[in-house]
Amino acid sequence: MSTVETLTDDKQPYQRKPEWLRVKAPGSPEYMRVKKLMRELNLNTVCEEAACPNIGTCWTQKHATVMILGDICTRACAFCNVKTGMPRMVDPLEPEHVATAVGELGLEHVVITSVDRDDLPDGGASQFVKVIQQIRERSPDTTIEVLTPDFLRKPGAVEAVVEARPDVYNHNLETVPRLYPTIRPGARYFQSLRLLDSVKQLDPSIFTKSGIMVGLGEDKREVLQVMDDMRTADVDFMTIGQYLRPTPRHAEVARYVTPDEFASYETVAKAKGFLMVSASPLTRSSYLAGDDFAVLRANREEKLAAQSA
C-alpha cells in the first residue's frame, strides 16, 4: 500500500500509517478488567502513557507493563508521549500495589518500568528494589523484568537494582547515537551502553535486554553498528520496532520501515549472537515479553537437562 500524505492538527504533513500498522481499538472484557484494576490500585502503565498500539492485545492476554514513580518525567525526549514536568512525591504504597496487581492478574512474567526521576538522589532505584522485593514475597514464581532509566549521575543506582536480582534487566538505547541530540537530548548513548555492560559485570546470571526504534532517520549501517555495540556489552535480547509519532509536537516519522526490512534486521541480529530478537513494525520493548522469555527459559532448561542426562 502506498503512503498517503494528509494533515495533522497543526497543518504539518505526515505519512498515513500503512496497513501493517493498523490495529483494532481495545475493548475486550479482560482489557477492561486490567484497566479497572490499575485504576483501583492507583497504578500507571506505560501501555497507556506511551499510547502503545499493542495495548488491546497485551491487556487481553493479561500482559501489562507497570510504570512506577508516577506519570510525570523529568526529561522531554522527542519520541515519548509521557508528560514532562515536576514529578509528585514517591508513593510509599506503590510497591505493595504493584505486587497486588501481579497476584490478582496471575502474571507469570511482569515488566516494571518508570519515568526518569532526575530529581531523586538515586533516580528511583530504591523504589525498583522495593517493588521487586514485594513481588518476590507475594508471587515467587513470577519472573521479573525491569526496564530502568539510565540513572545518569546516580552512583550506586544500577548496583542496587542488580542486587535485587530481577530476571531480566532492560534498558533501551532507543535510537542510533547520531540522533541522540534531537531525539534523546537528556541521555548519553555510551552511558546507556555502560549501564548494560555493568549489569553483566555485576551479575552475569541476569539476562540483559535493549531496544531501538527505526523510522527516525537512521540508516541500516547505523542500526547494524548499534547491534555490534550491544553485543560488545554482552546484551542478550534485542527489540526493534517502528517509531510512531504520538502527537504533532513530537519528532516526525522519517519513513515507515517495511516488514521485510524488519525480518532482515532480525536475521542479522540472530547471526550476531543475540539469544532472543523481536523485530517487527509493532514490536515494543515489553510487547508480550513474558512469552518470549518463557520460550527462552524452556529452551535453557531443556539444554541443562540434556547435559545432565
Q: Give the number of other CB atoms < 10 A from CB of residue 93.
A: 10
16 DSSP 8-state letter: P
pTM, to two decimals: 0.84
Mean pLDDT of the residues in the chain: 85
Q: Please state, as a whole number, how many other Cβ atoms lie within 10 Å of the Cβ of residue 258.
A: 13
Q: What integer pLDDT is reported at residue 62 of this predicted model? A: 61
What pLDDT, in 10s, does the model give residues 47-58? 554 455 555 555
Supply φ then ψ for residue 27, to 5 degrees: 170, 10
209 falls in which pLDDT band (50, 70, 90)?
very high
**What pLDDT is recorded for position 10?**
44
Cell, residue 127: 523504589
Q: Which domains does the chain have, with CATH numbers?
A: 23-308 (3.20.20.70)
Please return the burial class of 131, using the count of CB atoms within 10 Å of its CB with bins 0-12, 13-18 and 19+: buried
pLDDT in tens, 241-300: 999 998 899 999 999 999 999 999 999 999 999 999 999 998 877 655 556 566 656 655
